[in-house]
Amino acid sequence: MTPGLEWLMIAWGIVTVVFIILLFYRSTLTRQEDDQLFIDESASSMAANQRELIAKVNKISPLIRVAGATSGLMLLVVAGWAVYIGLNSVQP
């Protein structure tokens, strides 16, 4: 295995771990979210908490998309590079 491929696999692993951590974080945030909220004057603090929660989820959603796309793209590059190395190492 070439050193460049090893470094790329390490980088892919790091990006994938960050992606999984972000998914778990969003999962813990959305676990607290209510599907339907009936608001009256006494529940205005609950509405404020829900708005804060939605703002946090909306803030990390682009990061999740970028990390997932980067991880997938890096996986394709690693696989392509490994196939290329495998095809070029065949002795006739």
- pTM greater than 0.85: no
pLDDT attached to residue 75: 96
For residue 63, CA distances in Å to 13, 58, 75, 76, 82 come to 17, 10, 18, 20, 28
Is residue 10 classed exposed, middle or buried when 0-12, 13-18 and 19+ CB atoms within 10 A define those classes? exposed
Domain spans of the chain? Answer: 3-88
For residue 11, CA distances in Å to 4, 15, 47, 67, 69 come to 11, 6, 41, 12, 14
Confidence of residue 33 (pLDDT cuts 50, 70, 90): low
